[in-house]
Structure 1
Amino acid sequence: MSEPQVTEQQLREALADQPVILAPGPHEPPTRIPPVPNDVWDLPGGTAWVYYAEGSDRLTKPVIAADGFNMGPSDIGMLWQGLDWGEYAFFSELRRRGHGVVVLGFHERSVAIQENAEAAIAAIMRAGEERQGDHRLAVGGFSMGGLVTRYALAKMETRRLDHQTGVYWSYDTPHRGAWIPLGLQAFAHYSRKLNDGFSRQINSPAARQLLAWHIEEWDDKPRVDELRHQLLAELQQMGNWPAIPLKIGVANGVGTGLGNGIKPGDHAVEGKGLSIVGTHLYAQRGGDNQIVANLRLVSLPPAKDVPTDDLPEMDGAPGGTLEGFGILADKLNEQPPLYGLKTDAHVRHHAFVPSVSAVAVREVTTDADLYVDIDGLAPEESELDEFRLASQNEPHTLMTTELGGWIVERIGNLG
């Protein structure tokens, strides 16, 4: 039996409160209540939840951990769920070893990195003032949080502000850029009339700064956004990195140059329902005039194919992955069958933060750089002083003993 024809207005009403949002980590609300913080700091543009070390009644050996990119405000419950209640209890292990943990969240995670860096600067200054003893701080973050704190520390040094930081750390941070497939970006903008949440995420200031290639409209030519150019120029003017602390970082991807198994041109997403049949998304293929999407949604004007020219084959690159294709299909499949939005994700994930970006050894503009054997490079080729790569390509910011444990050990040994 065929599905009934639905109107654009019906689809708009159905999708009104359910935008597609691409984000790593758990997507369900926490099933546990996070620990009650010992203190909460109200910061310009952010909030810091402060947890003293086990058995302590003061802030000792502080570790600042900044949240990453998403839409809306940081959620302390989701942060504990993603970073402490899985394989490795990152926050709890730091506290067990005598560190106070300052979890830095933002009122709006999608604003410009420079804006959220002001919250980071305020948190760093307050941690230095309130700590017990003279133990230097460890300051860093997850994904975008690593860029926010990198910018904040570099800005403090430029202003001659004493950040009292001994270690800067980053966890799968896109130092050289992140990747959202151009087909997904195009779908976000093409479907804007039905629900603009996905498009607003892709076009948010932080996304424009993080993505190595960005499109503002579905039929735009991919480019480096002006906001990214501006951020990189400001970092360059400030020395690109903080000069005083030791700089360490980890990647959720391998260093062998082995990709995640996605082949160029793989059929990633296929629209099956009556309202979306004809929509197809494909993994990025190199070369000229490569089709990454065919777009069709009920009552919206038929779209031409979405081509790209001379882009690297990013989707299969080694690095931390994101279930971007799967998130889109799952959200559409949540709708009742009568809306005709059934969609198959033949490929669920794609590279999001290439390994070479997370450990700052190469740009992400060519296949030769994306798939380089990092393990075979001299460690000095990284802009980080020390780094660690995962033993397999795994989800972006997945907290593991392998990576989280290494950071905790290095913070403890170097502090």
Structure 2
Amino acid sequence: MPQEPRIDVETRAHTFESSLSTDQVERIAAALGQQGVWFAAPPRRDGEARRPELTWDLVGDEPYQGYTATGRAAVHLADGHDAPTRPLILADGFNYGPSDLDALWRHFNQPYQRGVPGFLDQLRSMGIDVVLLGFDQRHAAVQANAAVAVSCVRRVIDERLGDDQLVVGGVSMGGIVTRYALARMESEGVDHQTDKYFSYDSPHLGAWIPLVLQQLAYLHESLAPRSDGPGQAALIRSPAAQQLLWGWVDDADYSGPVTSASPLRLEFLEDLRRVGWFPMRPYKLGLANGTGDGVGPDLAPGTPVFDLQHETLQLTARVQPDMGELQNIGVVRFGAPVWTSATSHVAAFDGAPGGTLDSWGRLADATGLPIQDRLRRSCFVPSVSAVALARDPFQWQSELYHDLGDLPKDETFLDAFCCDTANTEHGAVSRPLIEWFLDQLAGW
């Protein structure tokens, strides 16, 4: 039986902090970066956003643990349509705070080939009405935002002209939110009238942010707490992150298992099972920004990404090692006090094929630390997660580098999927993915 993946911190952060002078604390905090929420992607500002014909304010159809989520939908009608007729709902993904639906339009409608209209404009030219779904708290629990998605599906059905079936899905977390929403509606006997479900680089088995970067975000907060807004680890600490990350730690001091560290992930997976795991009625499509050939980014396990040694200060952070016992992933030293972190039985996630995130690069930019270009990005949503490999969410990491080229039909929970030809940025608009998806919709 495989050993449970875990992390061990040898010198606890609060002990480390208490042994430092005020000047030392300030110098380490400065070395760890500027204020702000780490890992939160900035909205896309370049290009123009089309003005929607309709905008709907949405309220979740039911509360989740006392919280009723809210959101908004921007409806972009196809030419010649006065109301939604052939609706496609595209839900926004994971980030901190409210969705920016103009940025979502700009992102998905950016040209991916010279002389070819953007993806959303192509949908409209096919007579498909695009409904962009956003959430006021993208980092809230999936179940809460799924209630907003349910309200959106109901609103589309109420406003629709004719009886054409819906296409419903989303990017990143949006694909998980809509997966849960449709499955919940089916479990309650509600007709969602959806013919196709799609997920765009969604972490069906879990996503990955390097554990050492999670720890450094917490450590920075402990050394330089904020009083004017969320700290560096706010996104990591959020309910959605706890539910979707394969490995998670709750502070820089934590030692113990990383796959079961958050009860929110355990509860979410149980809720998914309760509502049916996946919606059964729609034809289920998956798009993965990672390759399907088992080849990931050039990130050798254990490679130092940062290795800052200046006077008595040392800051080292490493690419996730491949399994093993007590494999070092990070060191912070100032004189005598040393904070070190090591993992055991954790797979080499950083170099796995998948949609990438510039987690290492963002830290380098914030701190001014030198970094090689090839080390800026690492795997965020492994390809085997985006294609919903039919595995237990806690027991799939050994197949991170699996060749998906001849995957048998019963090895995925999806009906069809497409992997990219390169390991592209998570959620990126890619010609192979878009053309495959448009072809899937051509007969609808």
2:182 corresponds to? 153
Contact 1:219/1:306 (<8 A) preserved: no
| CA drift at 1:219 | 2.7
When the two structures are superposed, what TM-score results if normalisation uses the length of structure 2? 0.84
SS at match of 2:267: helix
Contact 1:53/1:98 (<8 A) preserved: yes
Provide the rounded CA distance (Å) in 1 between the counterparts of 2:245 and 2:212. 14
SS at match of 2:342: strand
2:318 corresponds to? 282
Change in Cα spacing, 1:274 to 1:134, as seen in structure 2 (3 Å) is farther
Change in Cα spacing, 1:303 to 1:192, as seen in structure 2 (3 Å) is farther
Compute the RMSD of aligned alpha carbons: 2.5
2:207 pairs, out of 171, 178, 200, with 178
| CA drift at 1:302 | 4.0
2:142 corresponds to? 113
Could you give the per-residue CA deviations for residues 308-346 of structure 1, whole angstroms, max 9, x where no partner exists? 11111111111111110001111222xxxxxxxx45457
2:97 corresponds to? 72
Provide the rounded CA distance (Å) in 2 between the counterparts of 1:367 and 1:223. 11
1:336 corresponds to? none
Change in Cα spacing, 1:83 to 1:29, as seen in structure 2 (3 Å) is closer
Contact 2:108/2:120 (<8 A) preserved: yes
Contact 1:312/1:365 (<8 A) preserved: no
1:337 corresponds to? none
Provide the rounded CA distance (Å) in 1 between the counterparts of 2:164 and 2:302. 52
Task: Give identity over the alignment, percent.
Answer: 39
Provide the rounded CA distance (Å) in 2 between the counterparts of 1:16 and 1:77. 29
Structure 2 unaligned residues grouped into runs of 5+: 1-21, 60-69
| CA drift at 1:260 | 1.5
Could you give the per-residue CA deviations for residues 108-128 of structure 1, whole angstroms, max 9, x where no partner exists? 100100010011000000101
After TM superposition, list the pairs within 5 Å mapping 1:9-408 onto structure 2.
Answer: 18-23=35-40, 27=42, 30-44=45-59, 45-87=70-112, 89-193=118-222, 194-195=224-225, 197-220=231-254, 221=256, 222-224=258-260, 225-271=262-308, 277-285=313-321, 286-296=323-333, 302-333=337-368, 342-344=369-371, 347-361=375-389, 362=391, 363=393, 365=395, 368-408=398-438
Provide the rounded CA distance (Å) in 2 between the counterparts of 1:406 and 1:171. 12
- Which moves more between the two structures, 40-49 or 253-262? 253-262
Change in Cα spacing, 1:18 to 1:192, as seen in structure 2 (3 Å) is closer
Provide the rounded CA distance (Å) in 1 between the counterparts of 2:31 and 2:204. 38
SS at match of 2:259: coil
Could you give the per-residue CA deviations for residues 250-303 of structure 1, whole angstroms, max 9, x where no partner exists? 11111111122211001112336779x4111101112110111113589xx944
Provide the rounded CA distance (Å) in 1 between the counterparts of 2:236 and 2:47. 31
| CA drift at 1:181 | 0.6
Contact 1:69/1:206 (<8 A) preserved: yes
Q: What amino acid sits opposite 2:231 in the alignment?
A: G
Provide the rounded CA distance (Å) in 1 between the counterparts of 2:395 and 2:303. 20
Contact 2:172/2:203 (<8 A) preserved: yes
Provide the rounded CA distance (Å) in 2 between the counterparts of 1:85 and 1:411. 20
Q: What amino acid sits opposite 2:47 in the alignment?
A: R
